[in-house]
Structure 1
Amino acid sequence: MAAPGPPSAKKPVSWTNIALGAAIQTFEVSTLGQPFEVIKTHMAAHRQDGLITAVKKTYQRGGIRGFYQGLIPWAWIEASTKGGVLLFASSEIDYQARTVLGCSPAAAGLLGGMGGGIAQAYTTMGFCTFMKTVEVTRHKSADTATQSTWRVAGDVFKREGIRGLNKGVSAVAVRQMTNWGSRFGIARVTEHLIRGADKERKLTTGERILSSVIGGALACWNQPIEVIRVEMQSAAKSADRPANMNIWTCARYIYQHNGLLGFYRGVTPRIALGVYLTVCMVFGGDSLKLYFAERQARKEAGNSA
């Protein structure tokens, strides 16, 4: 890390980054993102099922629509808010880390991703992530199959209040902090390694996508946190399952029943999700931010001419 430089003036809030983040994340979840999320969640909650079994059971629950359980409205609400929060918060923290603290691009990317991930969890993701998990894991009998997702949310709120709808939010915060800290940080380190000695060289599109792919794949080292998060939010019933779990009691429960390998159930679809999501948010976000910045610069140049 370089020596801190003199503090610079605060750059204006970028409302464009908020809109771009929301648009990119909504596109991501509406295409391949939600199917990967559903399979990953199923495997993390039903740790005896392998990938092929999870795909078969998901299809049996509702055909192709089964892979999009929880998309409307919860994943759309989550995506349209958390994407904006992520790009806005990570961009602002990244800027401050570089200009005020004198951080390298990799360190600034790490700090920006961690801060953006935490902001996501506590502002928008708590109840949405919980309800998506409930929709994937709840038992659907003849009596409950047609029960609307709003009815389910209402029942949870009546029983447990706001805290019930945000069950597992601390695990979500740890996951998001390590997720985006790793994704942004590893992607920036990869970009640095690809550039080599020429620090000013612009990366090709292929090199930037490769950096995002590596960042998304390697960020899945924290899969145990994700399995704990899913178990805490799961609606699946088990006679010996503790009623009010925290991160530590949940980890003990998983280890007692599934051993160390239980913490890595669902890692394959999660790697696919991480790669796709990081390409969308890091490569796609960088590309769109650059496009709008250049367009704004041309507009300002034309006005001053």
Structure 2
Amino acid sequence: MSEVITKAPQIEKKAVSFHNILLGAAIQTFEVSTLGQPFEVVKTHMAANRGDSIATSLKKTYARGGIAGFYQGLIPWAWIEASTKGGVLLFTSSEIDYRARVAGFSPSWAGLFGGVGGGIAQAYTTMGFCTFMKTVEVTRHKAAGASASTWRIAYDVFQREGIRGLNRGVSAVALRQMTNWGSRFGISRVTESLFRGQDKTRKLSTAERLASSAIGGALACWNQPLEVIRVEMQSQAKAADRPANLNLFTTARYIYQKNGFLGFYRGVTPRVGLSVYLTVCMVFGGDSIKAYFGDKKAASKA
């Protein structure tokens, strides 16, 4: 009796499209240039000034420069970050996803590993120094008529501390991004499964996919303590009792001593708003634009 040998399906590497990288950069730049940066500024202010409420944070931010005060750090740092981190994530997560599937992991685990690796890559390439400079812009004191430019501040930090100084707090950024993408992926997949119910093969509607992503993005903010630690490490606000050389552990101890457990969750509300808004831009915006160009391409071939 002859034995039938079944050939295992070949694992193909996901193609990385240059057009998708440009699309991701364009959408994220749009996101941060509209409501994204105001959410970021208020979130950062509350994390650095943990005694301020949302209302107080809004008033102080407006007092710093009117509407423009809500866009501190947008140019060039937020634009640099938004236009590069999507490409870094896409390349890194795609490669790790492929290697994990070749090693025998399921697509879900492979995607999770890809997201975690992509988040770490983002932090240690462009997000570290961009996030640092955005925080500097929000938290530094600006004397009337004598404020140094953002480029001057960056140059002074580099002169004093080198690349390490510009990447202060990058380990907290890496932990945040790693847990962000891992949580978003996992929670979104669980939510999609709940929507499908018993029919695991049913295609989800646009509203269901959007809701799954938004829920994943919002609940991923459980890691807000890492964000507060990151902001404190990068903050230019002065305090007499603040330790001179902060790391993850000394910063966490300082925050707890000053503000207790709830201090680690200051700014979580605007961060949830930021996460949901980013998801809406990426899901609805991305799908709509890709569908538009797809229909246009199909029409040109007809």
Q: Structure 2 length normalisation: TM-score? A: 0.89
Q: Could you say which residue in structure 2 is the equivalent of 1:64?
A: 67
Shift of 1:180: 1.5
Q: Which residues of 2 match residues 1-305 of structure 1 at below 5 A?
A: 8-94=11-97, 96-97=99-100, 101-105=104-108, 107-142=109-144, 144-145=146-147, 147-282=148-283, 284-285=285-286
Specify every segment of 5 or more residues in structure 1 that has no aligned partner in the other structure, as ranges: none
After superposition, the CA RMSD in angstroms is: 2.5
Q: What runs of 5+ residues in structure 2 fail to find an aligned partner?
A: 1-7
Q: Is the 8 A contact 1:18 1:88 kept in 2?
A: no
Question: 3-state DSSP class of the match of 2:50?
Answer: coil
Contact 1:139-1:236 within 8 A present in 2 as well: yes
CA shift, 1:120, in A, is: 0.6
Does the aligned pair in 2 maintain the 1:208–1:283 contact within 8 Å? Answer: no
Distance 2:140 2:245 in 1: 17
CA contact (8 A) 1:21 1:85 kept: no
2:50–2:259 Cα contact (<8 Å) kept: yes
Distance in structure 1 (CA, Å) of the matches to 2:136 and 2:196:
44
Identity %: 76
**Which digits, 9 at most, give the CA deviation of each residue in 1:65-89, with x for residues without a partner?**
0000000000000100012222333
Which deviates further from its counterpart, 41-50 or 24-33? 24-33
The separation in 1 between residues aligned to 2:205 and 2:86, in whole angstroms, is 25
How many residues align? The count is 295
User: Which deviations, in whole Å up to 9, do the C-alpha atoms of 1:131-159 show, x marking residues without a partner?
Assistant: 000000001123643x2111111111111
Q: Which moved more, 1:209-218 or 1:191-200?
A: 191-200
Deviates more, 1:162-171 or 1:197-206: 197-206
- 2:3 corresponds in structure 1 to none
Residue type of the alignment partner of 2:143: S
The Cα of 1:281 is off from its aligned counterpart by 3.2
Change (3 A) 1:48 1:177: same
So what's the TM-score if we normalise by structure 1? 0.88
Cα distance in 2 for partners of 1:196, 1:42 equals 42
Shift of 1:58: 0.2
What amino acid maps onto 2:226 in structure 1?
Answer: I
50-59 vs 22-31, greater mean Cα deviation? 22-31
Asked if the contact 1:216/1:276 (under 8 Å) is kept, the reply is no
CA contact (8 A) 1:232 1:250 kept: yes
Change (3 A) 1:291 1:111: farther
Q: Per-residue displacement from partner, 1:182-240 (whole Å, max 9, x unpaired)? A: 11221122122212233332211111111111011100000000000000000101111
Shift in CA distance, 92/276, structure 1 to aligned 2, threshold 3 Å: farther
Checking the alignment, whether the CA contact within 8 Å between 1:24 and 1:83 is kept in structure 2 is: no
Q: Do the aligned partners of residues 92 and 280 (structure 1) sit closer, same or farther apart at CA in structure 2, a change above 3 Å counting?
A: farther
User: Separation in 1 of the partners of 2:69 and 2:36?
Assistant: 13
Q: Is the 8 A contact 2:48 2:231 kept in 1?
A: yes
The 3 A distance-change label for structure 1 pair 100 and 19 is: farther
